[in-house]
Structure 1
Amino acid sequence: MEDEAQHQYGEDIFVVDVGLSWVASKRDIPAALLPEEREQVIPGGSPSTFWAGVANVAVDEFDRTKARQLGQDIGRLVGSPLADQTIHTAWLGATRGVLDPVEDGLSGRAFLLLLQEAWLARVRRDDPAFTPPPPEPVTDEEATRAVLAVIRPVAGDLEGAVRVSFGVPPTGIVPALEQIVLRACADLGYRLFLSAMKAYFVMVDQRTYDAFQALGERFGYPEFLVGDNLNYQT
């Protein structure tokens, strides 16, 4: 796994997230908006419009990793056998339930297809002939076992943090993330798990943090992806 992962995320050492988990990391933008800014950023208060706009912004740096990985991540989930509810639950966990696309009547897959449409339309403004490469999910047993091994020791802490958070909790967040790891992609499942840990500010000790970092290195993540905004004790 390590040899295949090397350098897959490109040259940008300042990247702190990539792909769909990068989109999810923008969950704090709405809370920071002034009232006069909200309608401009979230037209009509539509969750799907806001998230599609974030996907569009990623393409402004299409030669870098966030935009390239976004298309891959969406394809990995859309083409998987996962239930729509599993995808929706994982998304709620990664975003702390901010601007839930179900408010626009969208299922998990329908929401991802909306993101894909926005992403692809923006890419083709610069490259009309662009054809997305087929998704290449990480599905080997070694990677799958490695991700599950770091999720399970903190599963109770994550579930507990979700239950006491504000808003509607994404019931079954850990099983949903595990299903993504098992049935869609270990890499994406791990990044969405990290997004949820950060979204709910779940504290981890130094040993757990080191395990998270070691797995990030095995996947070839940018240096700051794992630790950025993670609540850990040194």
Structure 2
Amino acid sequence: MTGGRESEIGCLEDVYVTDIGLTWIASRWRVVDLFDREPDRHPLPEEGPLSEWLGFAAVAVDEFDRSKAAQLGQDVQRLLRSSLPGETIRTVWLAATHGILDPDEHGMTGRTWLRRIEEGWLARVRQDDPAFVPLPPQPVVDEELRQAVIQVIHTVAEPLRLASEQPPYGVPATGLVPALERVVTEACADLGYRLLLRAVKTYSVPVPADGETYGRFVALGERFGYPYWVVREGLNDRRID
């Protein structure tokens, strides 16, 4: 009976889940006040936008069940243990957040910023479980899945490039498409796909109105086992019904 109840709760939770892990934190850019970027908005450094962003790492632990909360640690380690340079990580982060928080502006590389996020996440997890040790990262490296994600990237490559390099506000994410491809091939196909989704949604890049392309977006989400709305929510779907 207990297992059935837990399964029911999990299903109900999935109805409201629109992102997970590192890309969930990136999605919080919409709730960050843009005025927080002004130096006099918060007179104390610990009250500034950097602290606000790091707070989301702790919120992720309270927001999700244990498996989804653990996804944040997995995502961070998938990137940190990869061969990706810090600038590539910075680029995909900028795109996922509309350039609202640039690690460079705070004297950090992309890798340093990820470590700060991980520190905040671990500190919150260990409040409940002092002996907690994260599992080693388990990146998705299946070549067929990698190529499937690369192909979907190519369907929106040009409009995504233009949108990310010429945003109406925020720091531009120059070189986004090759950066996403590197995440997919050098780090993790799953995380690379979620970073693509986050960038496409952030810049409201239209999905080609051929039906087939939208179907490929959704099918990939199903193959990765995402909750229902992770792909669908916020996607600028231009299908012809």
- Using structure 1 for the length normalisation, give the TM-score: 0.88
Q: What is the RMSD computed on CA atoms of the aligned residues?
A: 2.1
Name 2:181's counterpart in structure 1: 178
1:201 pairs with 2:187: no
Higher relative contact order (CA 8 A, sep 6+): 1
Partner SS, residue 226 of structure 1: helix
Contact 2:184 2:192 in 1 (8 A): yes
Contact 2:98 2:171 in 1 (8 A): no
Partner SS, residue 225 of structure 1: helix
Q: Paired residue for 1:132, among 123, 131, 134?
A: 134
Map residues 63-102 of structure 1 onto 2, 5 A cutoff.
63-102=65-104
Name 2:4's counterpart in structure 1: none
1:223 pairs with 2:228: yes
State which structure, 1 or 2, has the greater radius of gyration over its C-alpha atoms: 2
Map residues 137-176 of structure 1 onto 2, 5 A cutoff.
137-165=139-167, 166-176=169-179
User: Percent identity between the aligned chains?
Assistant: 53
Cα distance in 2 between the residues matched to 1:33 and 1:210:
38
Q: Tell me the amino acid that sits aligned with residue 221 of structure 1.
A: Y
Contact 1:177 1:189 in 2 (8 A): yes
Could you tell me how far 1:44 is from its partner in structure 2?
A: 4.0
Q: Tell me the amino acid that sits aligned with residue 220 of structure 2.
A: L
**5+ residue gaps in structure 1?**
1-6
Could you tell me how far 1:55 is from its partner in structure 2?
A: 0.6
Moved over 4 A (4+): 32-35
Cα distance in 2 between the residues matched to 1:39 and 1:109:
26
Cα distance in 2 between the residues matched to 1:65 and 1:27:
23
Change (3 A) 1:65 1:200: farther
Contact 1:22 1:66 in 2 (8 A): no
Q: How many residues align?
A: 222
Name 1:109's counterpart in structure 2: 111
Change (3 A) 1:85 1:32: closer
Could you tell me how far 1:39 is from its partner in structure 2?
A: 4.2
Q: Paired residue for 1:59, among 61, 72, 76?
A: 61
1:22-67 deviation per Cα after TM superposition (whole angstroms, max 9, x unaligned)? 00000111237899xx649x944343x2221111111114534441
Contact 2:94 2:171 in 1 (8 A): no
- Using structure 2 for the length normalisation, give the TM-score: 0.86
Deviates more, 1:153-162 or 1:26-35: 26-35
Name 2:238's counterpart in structure 1: 233
